[in-house]
């Protein structure tokens, strides 16, 4: 077996790995990215300069070093990031010892996995497009490696064209088959094995604790988080609070929810005063279990549960684009009876911040313990003297005191945190809620887009007879933040309002993203069944399999037919001549390879005397094109070729059945 | 040792299979030229790389389904589609190829014979990346313009008529994931001359031979003109006389009696059967090289006296086919 790998084959394999790394470039730390590129460049330099591979101990050393680097970067070798980085590192190290075709093929197979892993991070249109290009490169390299003909170094580059064409052709022709399988391949309702829960590092976005600066770091991030389509009118901005996490525990600087609290024994109690508003959410992957629901959630979406403090927790993390349907009440009373545990947690206070405590106690005394009056005092204070800013100054040790009495500049998390602290100090149960607020209506698509910049923190206080009531202290400082969005407000302040056409373009591109997610990325077993039902077919796996078989045969058959047709023959004149010979053979003329055109003509005329003039003129035209010098001028040959082609297309001798020729 | 034993076992198994399973092994029997390959006699199986790639695709499919990652699923199906499409392409490359002629020059046992095969194709589509293998040897060729000539080298061991044997025409186009192949077993046998003895005694001199005349292999005395016969050396052609007669004439010389050699089976008395043949073969070659006229007396057959390449071939052939 010819198992040698020439330089051009090596270079193509290295290019495929480089493409695989490119698919991970968005998240891969720069140190790792640089190291991988250096290792691959080193292996390529060794091969191209014709040197021997590095000695085995050195190669193993490089491999271990790369693995150690990955573990050092991520803390462990498991999980999505570390796993992908490790795979890429091993591939880069493998290039150092790739000398045979077999090695290159192992590398190519692993590169397919690399492309797959890339989709764990991003399934957007750009990533999918890049991955398609990598597939073309992979197939082209496989075609290059499979070609056993020797490649002289001088012609090596010219010889790349054929495998590149093959790769692109097969990748394109496989698309219909891939779509058919995508739509009809029976999906799993539930994972075969558990999707890793903690294996995924948190993505940028809301996390499970709130520190000062967490939300302001997102304020300029326009990445969409979720898109919401309402069954009726889109609610007013002031009503668009999408509730995510509820924080009870405060240690002086950080708010956190306690895991134990997620399983409150008290059920969520909601007394609704209006009809439920139904909506549907397409959410981008968050790698977290919680969902964001419009306040106040009427019920948990399928596959999730609603905790006693109205957090929606999914059974599995949202690791890829997901869809859920939910409904909400805008006019409600939440938990009119306060459970004992909630009261205790809602009044928990850390040590410190004596000035705030004193102030809150004074408020409580002056208003006679009326929760609403205390809250109004606090909001009035915020409204009168505080500044809403993206870049608040750092706070000292008693963070709440420092904020309330010294800096007086903050972002929503500062206001929520200080307000909740003050309320608790005044004896009113309070908690912090984090989620998304406001959003941006895409008029072209008729849906609401919530971006990372819309992340928001607000508070809830418990009032006797009314239950948990939402109080947004940010609204007291910067009401426009609630009416519009943080981003729009910042743009306004900088005097950089987007022109109309740009905003229209943004809406259109977001609409494309919405469509992409809704129709491609979020397709699931459920949607598959819905699709079958909409065609009136029973939602049965057997129906799917039967449909799949038909569709696969159809798409593959068409693609094969196209491939057979596309087999190019090189010289167009010879191709036409071959077609002519084929027609003669089918008409029963014995076409032998050693016959020249003139001999064939004689034979053909002898057995098909009726067609003698046509045969003679075709032969004449062929001999003319193939053996005589072309007269001056460029266009003449194409014209003569076209004439020959027409003559041969028109040449249709009666067919003789194949079997008879064989028997002869 | 083990390799030889396993080879023998494989040959035994193959023979048994061909006796017992004619339907399966029909396309392996020797057949006369031309041999046309068609889909019914072309086999396809995945290569090692194909199996590895397939296992990888299954793993990718399970992973993508498990995470319900639709882009990953699409990637898997796209690769699978390309793989399935590539499956039949190798067959198409071989389909329609015909082995129309086969040419081989006789060689002496022990030296390799070069077999030249003439392939043609009848479908009109170019055939690329074909791999003809004979044992461990391979030749790679294209049939881009409808015909190709391929040379393979076959080792020889024993004198006699040696069957060409089976060869395989295979193609792994386009990705090397599947191998399509067909067995070619042309019913052609290759003549193998006996291996000449390495250190043989000099030629026996018939009728009191004197010194040989290697310097002037052609006799001194001009004798007559005769018709050109195939194989006559060109320098013997009498050009002027030919021009006059309008046909090729060759000068014939009276060979001196001294230069006539009698090679007899009896002269090799005392050697083993094969050694006798080897010695006679050596003598035939030497005599022919010396330009001598010689006769070969074998049990039951006498060749010559004559000379020239045709005679040499006849003698060596007779020796090769000795029982």
Residues A312 and A218 in one domain: yes
Q: Choose the closest CB to B77 out of A178, A522, A569.
A: A178
Examine the fold and report which residue of A447, A465, A493 is the final residue of a domain before the chain moves on. Answer: A493
Residue A80 structural domain: 7-148
| Alpha-carbon distance A93 to nearest alpha carbon in chain B (angstroms) | 20
Q: Could you tell me if A277 and A329 are in contact, meaning their C-beta atoms sit under 8 angstroms apart?
A: yes
Angle at B116 between CA B112 and CA B120, to 5 degrees: 155
Burial class (CB in 10 A: 0-12, 13-18, 19+), A11: middle
Between A496 and B323, where is the model more confident?
A: B323
**Residue that is last in its domain, among A468, A493, A518:** A493
What's the pLDDT at A2?
61
Given an 8 Å threshold on Cβ–Cβ distance, is A146 in contact with B142?
no
Q: List strand residue ranges (DSSP E) for B177-234, in order.
A: 178-184, 189-193, 221-227
> Which of these is catalytic: A16, A122, A412, A510?
A412
**Rounded CA separation B220/B255 (Å):** 8
Mutation target vs A (from B75, B94, B98, B131; most A CBs, 10 A cutoff):
B75
- CB contacts under 8 A, B 155-174 vs A, are 172-174
**Chain B residue with minimal CA distance to A150?**
B140
Residue A344 lies in a domain: yes
B 98-157: CB under 8 A from A: 100, 120, 122-126, 129, 131, 138, 140, 142, 144-147
Distance from the B272 Cα atom to the nearest Cα atom in chain A, whole angstroms: 42
Residues of A (192-251) whose Cβ lies below 8 Å from B: 192-193, 195
Nearest Cα residue in chain B from A177: B81
Provide the pairing of β-strand B127-134 with B160-163: unpaired
**Are residue A258 and residue A370 in the same domain, yes or no?**
yes
Size of interface A-B (CB pairs under 8 A): 175
With H, G, I as helix, E, B as strand and everything else as coil, classify residue B189. strand
Chain A residues whose CB is inside 8 A of the B176 CB are: 105, 142, 145-146
Q: Work out the average pLDDT over B236-241.
A: 81
Q: How far is residue A85's CA from residue A21's CA, in Å, rounded to a whole number?
A: 9
A175 lies within 8 A of chain B by CB: yes
Active-site choice (A309, A402, A472, A510)? A472
Interface test with A, best of B54, B74, B122, B150 (most A CBs within 10 A): B74
Q: Is B79 on the interface with A (CB under 8 A)?
A: yes
Tokens read off for B47: 């290569």
| CA nearest to A433, candidates A210, A133, A609, A602 | A210
| Domain-wise residue ranges, chain B | 19-190, 194-214+257-323, 220-254
Strands B35-36, B97-104: parallel, antiparallel or unpaired by DSSP? antiparallel
A649-654 contacts, C-beta under 8 A, 24 or more apart: A650/A614, A651/A580, A651/A583, A651/A611, A651/A614, A651/A615, A651/A618, A652/A583, A653/A583, A653/A584, A653/A586, A653/A587, A653/A608, A653/A611, A654/A587
Q: Are residues A489 and A383 in the same domain?
A: yes
Q: Nearest residue on chain B to A118, judged by CA atoms? A: B72
Task: Given the residues A287, A454, A456, A510, select the one marked as catalytic.
Answer: A456
Looking at the structure, tell me whether residues A335 and A477 fall in a common domain: yes
Chain A touched by B177 (CB under 8 Å): yes
What residues 141-170 of chain A have any CB closer than 8 A to a CB of chain B? 142-143, 145-150, 166, 170
> Is residue A456 among the annotated active site residues?
yes
Please judge whether A570 and B52 are an interchain contact, meaning their C-beta atoms are less than 8 angstroms apart: no
User: In angstroms, what separates the C-alpha of A445 from chain B's closest C-alpha?
Assistant: 23
DSSP, collapsed to helix, strand or coil, labels residue A54 as coil
Residue pair A114/A88 in contact by the 8 Å Cβ criterion: yes
CB contact under 8 A, A146 and B173: yes
Q: Which of A139, A521, A567 lies closest to B70 in CB terms?
A: A521
CB contact (8 A) between residue B75 and residue A185:
no
Name the percent of chain B lying above pLDDT 90: 14
Write a three-state SS string for A384-445: HHCEECCCCCCCCCCHHHHHHHHHCEECHHHHHHHHHHHHHHCCCCEEEEEEEECCEEECCC
> Which chain A residues are within 8 Å of B123, Cβ to Cβ?
582
Write out chain A residues lying below 8 Å of B64, CB-based.
116
Show residues of chain B in contact with A182, CB under 8 Å.
Answer: 70, 73-74, 77
pLDDT of residue A620: 86
Q: What is the pLDDT of residue A162?
A: 86
Q: Do A116 and B140 touch (CB under 8 A)?
A: no
DSSP states of B89-150? HHHHHHTTEEEEEEEE--EETTSPEEEEEEEEE-SSS-EEEEEEEETTEEEEEEETTSEEEE
Looking at the structure of chain A, the number of domains it has is 3
Distance, in angstroms, between B186 CA and closest chain A CA? 19
Q: Residues A143, A216: one domain?
A: no
A582: in domain: yes
Digit-coded pLDDT (tens) for B170-216 = 999 889 999 999 988 888 888 898 888 888 777 776 544 444 443 34
Contacts of B40 in chain A (CB under 8 A): none
Smallest CA–CA distance, residue B12 to chain A, in Å, is: 25
Q: What is the predicted pLDDT for the residue at B214?
A: 39
Assess if residue A324 is contained within a domain.
Answer: yes
Asked if residue A580 belongs to a domain, the reply is yes
User: Which letter, b or e, does each residue of A130-152 get, where b requires 16 or more Cβ atoms within 10 Å of its Cβ?
Assistant: bbbebbbbbbbbbbbbbbbeebe
Whether residue A464 is contained in a domain is answered as yes
Rounded Cα–Cα distance for residues A170 and A329 (Å):
53
Of A145, A560, A574, the CB nearest to B145: A574
Active site (annotated) includes residue A472: yes
Mark which residues 39-68 of B lie under 8 Å from A by CB.
49, 52-53, 56-57, 59-60, 62-68
For A127, nearest residue in chain B (alpha carbons)? B71
Q: Three-state DSSP class for A122?
A: coil
- The closest CB to that of A578, out of B52, B86, B146, belongs to B146
Last residue of a domain, one of A112, A130, A148: A148
A127 and A263 both lie in a single domain: no
The CA-atom distances, in angstroms, between A111 and each of A142, A163, A495, B55, B71 are 12, 18, 48, 14, 16
Neighboring chain A residues of B76 at a CB cutoff of 8 Å:
116
Residue A581 with chain B: CB contacts under 8 Å: 124
Q: Does A131 touch chain B (CB under 8 A)?
A: yes
How close, in Å, is residue A223 to chain B by CA atoms? 20
Contacts of A570 in chain B (CB under 8 A): 126, 144
- DSSP-assigned letter for residue B214: -
User: Using the beta-carbon criterion (under 8 Å), do A120 and B69 form an inter-chain contact?
Assistant: yes
Inside any domain, residue A181: no
Residues 240-259 of B with CB under 8 A from A: none
Is A181 in the active site?
no
Give the pLDDT mean for B125-139.
83
Query: What was the pLDDT predicted at A664?
Result: 36
Residue A310 and residue A325: Cα distance in Å, rounded?
Answer: 16
Cα B166 from Cα B30, distance rounded (Å): 8
The verdict on a CB contact (< 8 Å) between B124 and A582 is yes
Question: From the first residue on, what is the mean pLDDT of each consecutive set of 10 residues in chain A (664 residues)?
Answer: 78 93 91 92 86 86 92 83 90 89 93 92 89 96 89 74 91 94 84 52 66 74 84 86 88 74 66 88 84 88 85 83 88 84 84 87 85 87 81 78 85 88 90 88 81 87 88 81 58 50 72 78 78 78 87 91 69 78 83 80 86 87 76 62 85 69 40
- pLDDT given for residue B120 in this prediction: 84
Kindly list the residues from chain B whose CB atom is less than 8 angstroms away from the CB atom of residue A193. 66
* CB atoms B62 and A116 under 8 Å: no
ipTM of predicted assembly, 2 dp:
0.76
CA-based nearest residue in chain B for residue A142? B175
Q: How far is B66 from chain A (nearest CA, A)?
A: 5
CB pair distance less than 8 Å for A177 and B172:
no
- State the pLDDT at residue A657: 61
Measured CA distances, A528 to A52, A124, A125, A262, A326 (Å) = 55, 21, 22, 33, 20
């Amino acid at each position: 077996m010819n198992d040698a790998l020439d330089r051009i084959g090596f270079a193509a394999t290295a290019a495929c790995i480089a493409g695989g790394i490119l698919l991970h470039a968005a998240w891969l730390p720069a140190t790792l990215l640089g190291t991988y590129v250096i290792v691959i460049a080193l292996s390529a330099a060794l091969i191209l300069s014709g040197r021997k591979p590095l000695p085995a101990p050195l190669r193993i050393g490089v491999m271990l070093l790369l693995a150690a680097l990955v573990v050092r970067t991520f803390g462990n070798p498991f999980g999505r990031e570390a796993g992908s980085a490790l795979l890429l590192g091993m591939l880069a190290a493998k290039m150092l010892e790739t000398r045979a075709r077999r090695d290159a093929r192992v590398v190519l197979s692993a590169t397919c996995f690399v492309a797959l892993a890339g989709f764990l991070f991003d399934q957007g249109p750009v990533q999918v497009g890049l991955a398609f290009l990598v597939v073309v490169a992979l197939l082209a390299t496989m075609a290059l490696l499979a070609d056993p003909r020797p490649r002289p170094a001088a012609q090596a580059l010219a010889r790349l064209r054929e495998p590149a064409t093959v790769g692109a052709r097969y990748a394109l022709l496989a698309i219909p088959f891939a779509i058919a399988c995508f739509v009809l391949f029976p999906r799993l309702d539930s994972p075969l094995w558990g999707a890793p829960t903690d294996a995924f590092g948190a993505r940028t976005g809301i996390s499970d604790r709130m520190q000062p600066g967490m939300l302001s770091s997102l304020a300029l991030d326009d990445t969409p988080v979720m898109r919401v389509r309402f069954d009726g009118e889109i609610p007013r901005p002031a009503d668009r609070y999408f509730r995510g996490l509820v924080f009870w525990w405060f240690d002086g600087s950080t708010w956190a929810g306690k895991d134990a609290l997620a399983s409150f024994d008290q059920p969520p109690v909601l007394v609704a005063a209006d009809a439920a508003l139904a909506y549907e959410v397409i959410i981008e992957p968050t790698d977290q279990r919680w969902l964001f629901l419009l306040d106040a959630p009427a019920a948990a979406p399928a596959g999730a549960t609603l905790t006693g403090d109205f957090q929606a927790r999914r059974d599995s993390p949202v690791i890829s684009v997901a869809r859920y349907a939910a409904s909400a009440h805008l006019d409600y009373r939440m938990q009119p009876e306060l459970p004992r545990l909630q009261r205790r947690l809602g009044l928990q206070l850390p040590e410190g911040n004596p000035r705030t405590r004193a102030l809150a106690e004074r408020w409580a005394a002056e208003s006679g313990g009326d929760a609403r009056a205390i809250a109004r005092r606090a909001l009035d204070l915020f409204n009168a003297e505080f500044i809403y800013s993206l870049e608040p100054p750092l706070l000292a040790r008693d963070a709440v005191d420092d904020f309330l009495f010294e800096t007086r500049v903050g972002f929503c998390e500062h206001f929520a945190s200080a307000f909740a602290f003050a309320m608790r100090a005044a004896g009113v149960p309070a908690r912090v809620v984090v989620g998304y607020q406001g959003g941006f209506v895409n008029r072209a698509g008729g849906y609401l887009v919530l971006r990372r910049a819309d992340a928001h923190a607000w508070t809830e206080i418990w009032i006797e007879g009314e239950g948990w009531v939402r109080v947004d202290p940010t609204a007291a400082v910067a009401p426009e933040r609630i009416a519009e969005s943080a981003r729009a407000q910042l743009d306004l302040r900088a005097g950089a309002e987007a022109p109309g056409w740009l905003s229209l373009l943004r809406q259109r591109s977001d609409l494309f993203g919405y469509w992409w997610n809704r129709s491609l990325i979020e397709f699931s077993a459920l949607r598959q069944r819905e699709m079958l039902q909409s065609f009136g077919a029973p939602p049965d796996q057997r129906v799917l399999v039967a449909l799949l078989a038909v569709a696969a045969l159809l798409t593959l058959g068409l693609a094969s037919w196209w491939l057979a047709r596309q087999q190019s023959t090189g010289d167009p004149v010879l191709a036409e001549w071959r077609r002519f010979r084929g027609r003669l053979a089918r008409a029963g003329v014995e076409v032998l390879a050693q016959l020249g055109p003139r001999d064939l003509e004689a034979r053909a005329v002898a057995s098909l005397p009726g067609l003698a003039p046509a045969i003679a003129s075709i032969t004449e035209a062929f001999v003319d094109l193939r053996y005589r010098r072309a007269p001056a001028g460029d266009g003449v040959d194409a014209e003569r070729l076209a004439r020959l082609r027409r003559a041969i297309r028109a040449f249709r001798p009666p067919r003789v059945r194949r079997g008879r020729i064989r028997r002869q | 040792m083990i390799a030889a034993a396993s080879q023998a076992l494989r040959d035994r198994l193959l023979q048994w299979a061909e006796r017992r399973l004619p339907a399966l092994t029909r396309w392996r029997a020797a057949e006369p030229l031309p041999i046309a390959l068609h889909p019914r006699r072309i086999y396809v199986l995945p290569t090692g790389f194909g199996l590895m790639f397939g296992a990888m695709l299954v793993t990718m499919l399970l992973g993508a389904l498990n995470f319900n990652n639709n882009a990953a699923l699409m990637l898997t199906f796209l690769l699978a589609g390309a793989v399935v499409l590539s499956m039949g392409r190798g067959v198409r490359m071989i389909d329609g190829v015909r082995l129309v002629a086969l040419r081989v020059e006789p060689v002496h046992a022990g030296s390799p014979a070069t077999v030249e095969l003439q392939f043609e194709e009848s479908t009109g589509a170019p055939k690329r990346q074909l791999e003809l293998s004979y044992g461990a040897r391979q030749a790679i060729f294209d049939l881009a313009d409808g015909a190709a000539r391929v040379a393979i080298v076959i080792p020889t061991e024993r004198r006699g008529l040696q069957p060409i044997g089976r060869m395989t025409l295979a193609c792994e186009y386009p990705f090397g994931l599947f191998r399509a192949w067909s067995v070619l077993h042309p019913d052609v046998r290759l003549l193998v001359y006996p291996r000449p003895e390495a250190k043989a005694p000099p030629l026996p001199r018939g009728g009191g031979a004197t010194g040989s005349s290697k310097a002037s292999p052609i006799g001194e005395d001009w004798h007559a003109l005769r018709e050109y016969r195939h194989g006559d050396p060109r320098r013997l052609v009498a050009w002027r006389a030919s021009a006059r007669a309008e046909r090729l004439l060759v000068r014939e010389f009276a060979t001196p009696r001294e230069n006539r050699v009698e090679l007899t089976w009896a002269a090799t008395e005392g050697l083993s059967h094969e050694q006798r043949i080897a010695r006679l073969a050596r003598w035939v070659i030497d005599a022919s090289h010396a330009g001598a006229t010689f006769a070969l007396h074998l049990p039951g057959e006498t060749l010559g006296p004559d000379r020239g390449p045709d005679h040499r071939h006849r003698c060596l052939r007779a020796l090769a086919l000795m029982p």
